[in-house]
Structure 1
Amino acid sequence: MTRRLLVIGHDYLETAGSIEGRFAERGYAIESVRVVPADRIDDPGVDFDFPDPREYDAVLVLGARWSSYSDTVASWVKPETELLRSADEAGVPVFGICFGGQMLAQAHGGSVAASPVPEIGPSVVAGVPAVAGVWTQWHSDRFTPPHDATVVGANGAAPQAFVLRRNLAVQFHPEVDADNVQGWLDDGGVEDARSRGFDPDVVIEHVRSLDADIPARAAALVDYFLDEVATS
């Protein structure tokens, strides 16, 4: 039987890119939901009925432009937190990216807070082979992993990846390429980057230099999740 992957997106600019592509190559049928529609970006406190994670073989949780602890998104962060806990209790593997990784931390006893060192653009991560290397980042929050998690990636700015049972959380964006980041820049990211001391022109050119390697590196990360984390 075909395995099913639930992809949870939070706003219209988030895409699963090469990560989703590798799941498809590994035999997963992709089913996607989007929490906040484009016309509610400025008022994201929507009510959303999440699917039952127990009906899927894995869950992929993508990034978002909001903080997981913000009251403006509490209406759907709370039920999404319950989804993550239900998946964990049922042994359904969950892969969380950036906001998704922060949600995993928050759901399982860790925490999320504003980072004193925001990361925008590529940065180096040390860790297990599938995690180590240069990854594109865009976050001003960071997670503190749950006490019983194993940190498998980090740098000087923040913990970058952890494993907890069948959950993998990463702080970086393995799924995006330069076109995705350009979309972020065009949607207010230029001002955000500059306000945090980053040159958007330098950021996009640095990201573009990584594009050729993204599919292979994303595939290796998905393989690590499926072959090592999801089977633990």
Structure 2
Amino acid sequence: MSPQSVYVVLNEVDDDATFHCDALAEEFPGARTVDFPAGERFDPDDADAVVLTGSTAGVYERDQHPWIDEEIELIRRLVAEGVPTLGVCFGHQIVNVALGGGVRSGTMTAGLVEAELADQPLFEGVDPVVPALHGDRVTESGDGLERIASAEHAEVFGTAHRERPVWTVQFHPEISAEQTESLRRFGWEMNGFSWAEVTADRLFRNFESRAGVE
């Protein structure tokens, strides 16, 4: 299947913080990137898989960022039509909100953390030490979504739909030591862990396998 059938939806609103979106897009060579805040759109009927990136915007900032409501409607359509979808950080939050879940603002977590990951194909080969960079947290999973990951600071750290090929994670599988300089502005901490313990990027290959777009 052509990699052009994969769409990476970029959600970052801060031009100085696009490093994570760039890193995620690099995980899907040949995929089409769609800058949602900038007004770019795509036809979900053309998509074989969709990945939603993180953002420094909050899902609840709809007055400030009207595109959020449009993305919520897009997500509902993707879920209804069974398009394989992966939400990362902000993507995790907006998928849950789109399906009736809740999100609240909290203190910033920026560093390597240890997560409890469910025994499921999305996490095959993914070690529990993962990169986290977020302030907002999902407080209640959306309809049809069940928790598949948790962390000490965020109980709903990942979700999966019970009937549709939809997965979300609060952590950033795309972040690695290569982004160290960009991470410093957020007060990044290693928390006693090392990058050698991080295999989170394997999650992307697992998603491709589940989505049938390898």
Give the TM-score range, shorter chain.
0.7 to 0.9
Greater fraction of residues in helix? 1
72, 81, 95: which is aligned to 1:90?
81
Residues 85, 175 of structure 1: alpha-carbon distance in 2 compared, 3 angstrom cutoff: same
Give the structure 2 partner of residue 150 of structure 1.
Answer: 146
Q: CA deviation at 1:89?
A: 1.4
SS of 1:67 mapped into structure 2: coil
Question: How many angstroms apart in 2 are the aligned matches of 1:74 and 1:52?
Answer: 21
The TM-score, its normalising length taken from structure 2, stands at 0.80
Name the counterpart of 1:168. Answer: 167
Which segment is superposed worse, 163-172 or 174-183? Answer: 174-183
Are residue 65 (structure 1) and residue 56 (structure 2) matched? yes
Corresponding residue of 1:182: 181
Contact 1:16 1:176 in 2 (8 A): no
**Deviation of residue 132 (structure 1)?**
5.0
Q: CA deviation at 1:146?
A: 1.5
Residues 208-227 of structure 1: pairs in structure 2 closer than 5 A: 209-210=194-195, 212=196, 217-219=200-202, 221-227=203-209
The answer as to whether partners of 1:50 and 1:79 remain within 8 angstroms in 2 is no
Equivalent residue number for residue 141 of structure 1: 136
Shift of 1:226: 3.5
Cα gap change, 1:139 to 1:30, in 2 (>3 Å)? same
Identity rate of aligned residues, in percent? Answer: 24
Amino acid in structure 2 at the alignment position of 1:226: E
CA distance in 1, matches of 2:67, 2:167: 21
Measured against aligned partners, the alpha-carbon deviations of 1:174-209 in whole angstroms (never above 9, x if no partner) come to: 1012332421434xx3xxx4xxxxxx4xx26968x3
Distance 1:34 1:205, change over 3 A: farther
CA distance in 1 between counterparts of 2:184 and 2:48 reads 34
RMSD of aligned alpha carbons: 2.6
Between the two proteins, the alignment pairs up a number of residues equal to 197
Contact in 1 for aligned 2:108/2:135 (Cα 8 Å):
yes
Partner of 1:75: 66
Aligned to 1:120: 110
Aligned equivalent of 1:30 = 31
Matches of 1:227 and 1:92, distance apart in 2: 14
Which runs of 5 or more structure 1 residues have no equivalent in the other structure? Answer: 38-47, 194-199
Contact 1:120 1:138 (C-alpha < 8 Å) held by counterparts: yes
1:101 alignment partner, one of 74, 79, 92: 92
CA distance in 2, matches of 1:125, 1:10: 24
- 1:118 positional shift: 3.9
- Calculate the TM-score normalised by the size of structure 1: 0.74
Other-structure match for 1:2: 2
Partner-residue secondary structure (3-state), 1:65: coil
TM-aligned CA deviation for residue 72 of structure 1: 4.6
AA partner of residue 120 (structure 1): A
- C-alpha separation between the residues in 2 aligned to 1:33 and 1:135? 26
CA contact (8 A) 2:10 2:53 kept: yes
